[in-house]
Copies of this chain bind each other. A is one copy, B any other.
Amino acid sequence: MAKKGKDTNTEEKILNAARQVFIEKGLSGARMQDIADKAEINKAMLHYYFKNKEMLFKLIFQETAGKLFPHFEKLMDSDLNFFDKIRSIVASYIDVIIQNPYIPLFVMNEMNKNPEIGMKTFFEAQKPGFVKKFRQAIENSIEMGLIEPINPIHLIMNMFSMCAFPFIAKPMIKILTGVEEEQFRNLMEQRKVLVAEFIINSIKK
């Protein structure tokens, strides 16, 4: 009854291959043949399991972009104080990116190049929870006199900028600072606490 016979192992292989190739080369740079090769299947199978390149890409993109929105809502609802919430978010967000270092650039780039591909609706579905609550928490903390006044949008931008940008700029950072792969990992590990403290230091009253 299941639309695709037994174990659908091939579908998995295709998705894994597609994920690698798309993330490495982007939509326009990826070749269907590359994906087929990496999946060790015939190119025709790609179109058997997925309509065409765009469909396959959209699937991978949305799956990947989803990782950029961990479920911070629980965290926002927790009874941690505001500063500890920042500490938690920064640490776990950088951790997510350490585990998937290529996705920020991939997502940002494809969003710019293919504005149509239906990510507006996709993200608008994901959005409401976290950003709204975080904004509210910032405004509360300002009212309570816990932190200096700041436009919440700027604070959020600052936070995500410092978390994500170093991964996007990694090749340039390596060249400009002479840092190598291992040291880079160490630096990113350090940032899990450093960035939060940097922010808190700046806004605390």
Contact = CB atoms under 8 A, between A and B. Distances in A.
Interface of A: 24-29, 102, 105, 107-109, 111-113, 115, 119-120, 123-124, 127, 131, 148, 150-151, 153-154, 157-158, 160-162, 164-166, 168-173, 175-177, 179, 187, 190-191, 194-195, 198-199, 201-203
30 contacts: A25-B28, A26-B29, A26-B109, A27-B29, A28-B28, A105-B108, A107-B172, A108-B168, A111-B172, A112-B170, A119-B175, A123-B176, A127-B176, A131-B176, A131-B177, A150-B198, A151-B190, A153-B187, A154-B190, A157-B162, A158-B198, A160-B169, A161-B169, A162-B162, A164-B165, A165-B165, A165-B168, A168-B168, A201-B203, A202-B202
6 nearest CB pairs, A to B = A161-B165, A202-B202, A28-B29, A165-B165, A201-B202, A111-B171
A160 to B, nearest CB: 7
Q: Within the oligomer, what is the number of copies of this chain?
A: 2
A168 B68 CA distance: 15
B161 A113 contact: no
Contact of A166 (B27, B120, B148, B161): B161
Contacts of A24: 113
A150 B179 CA distance: 17
Given A105-B108, A107-B172, A127-B176, 17 more contacts: A26-B26, A27-B29, A29-B29, A105-B109, A108-B172, A123-B175, A151-B194, A157-B165, A160-B169, A161-B161, A161-B162, A161-B166, A161-B169, A162-B162, A164-B169, A168-B168, A202-B202
